[in-house]
Amino acid sequence: MSSLPMYASESAKAASASESRYRITVPIAPARNARVIALDTRAASVARRISDGPWANARFYTCEAAPDRGPADEFLLYRLDGVPAALDDMLRDTDVVVIMATDDSGGTRAAAIGSACSARAITTAGVVLGDGFEADDAVAALRPHARVLLLSADESDAFELLRALRV
């Protein structure tokens, strides 16, 4: 009886077009429980536009500085329908936070949210939208915390990022 060759090359079969039809196909459940936070007015507009997407678990928020001139990193969160939200509640059971900015006005808040996410081991991504670099401070504030910073002139990148992440 002849022995098998040293390399039986199962991988060669597995990589063929005809073998591809034997891949196990089961529906992929959304894996991410995402929160999307818009740091400034234009970012909030983008968040409103993309919030109508086919999202399973993603929730969208706006973020404003506290009006009573508290510490610079104090801020208020709102759902898109205007209902206030608490940071702790928002981050509970979340595994990815996408922070969107279009200018520098939210730089301090970006750092505070990023820090809160880091402390909770929540993956953070930053999407900075704009042609020029109107959001340098926001980028710098996010840099220590955001696993990824996507600097783009194309608003649809935010949508595509969320879709690719299956949120």
Partner 1 sequence: MLRQDINELLTQTGPGTPMGDLFRQYWIPALLAEELPENDSPPVRVKLLSERLIAFRDSEGRYGLIDEFCAHRGASLWFGRNEGSGLRCPYHGWKYDVTGQCIEVPSEADNSSFCENVKLRAYPLVKVGDVLWTHMGDPAKRPDLPEFEFAHVPPEQTYTSKRWQQCNWLQAFEGGIDSSHVTFLHSGGLKSDPLFKGAKGNEYNMKDTKPFFEVADSEGGLFVGARRNAEEGSYYWRITPYVMPAFTMVPPRGDHPLHGHFWVPIDDENCWTYSFDYHPGRPLTAAERQAMIDGHGVHSKNIPGTYRPMANMDNDYLIDREAQKRGETYSGVAGIAMQDASLQESMGPIVDRTKERLVPADSGIIKARQKLRKAAIALRDEGVTPPGVDTAHHRVRSAAVVLPQAESFLDSCRDAIKATPGVPHSSV
Residues at the site binding partner 1, with contacts judged by CB under 8 A = 7-12, 14-17, 19-20, 23, 25, 28, 31, 96, 123-125, 136, 139-140, 143-144, 146-154, 156-157, 160-161, 163-166
Residues 6+ apart with CB under 8 A from 78: 61, 62, 63, 64, 84, 85
For residue 127, the SS3 value is strand
Nearer to partner 1, 7 or 69 (CB): 7
Nearer to partner 1, 42 or 145 (CB): 145
The nearest distance, CB 125 to partner 1, in angstroms, is 4
Residue with structure tokens 């086919």?
A: 54
* DSSP conformation letters of 33-86: -EEEEE-SHHHHHHHHHHTTS--SS-EEEEEEE-TT---TT-EEEEETTS-EE-
Nearer to partner 1, 66 or 143 (CB): 143
Nearer to partner 1, 3 or 20 (CB): 20
Angstrom distance (rounded) from CA 76 to CA 66:
6
The nearest distance, CB 113 to partner 1, in angstroms, is 15
Nearer to partner 1, 9 or 86 (CB): 9
The nearest distance, CB 65 to partner 1, in angstroms, is 23
The nearest distance, CB 132 to partner 1, in angstroms, is 12
The nearest distance, CB 99 to partner 1, in angstroms, is 11
Angstrom distance (rounded) from CA 128 to CA 80:
19
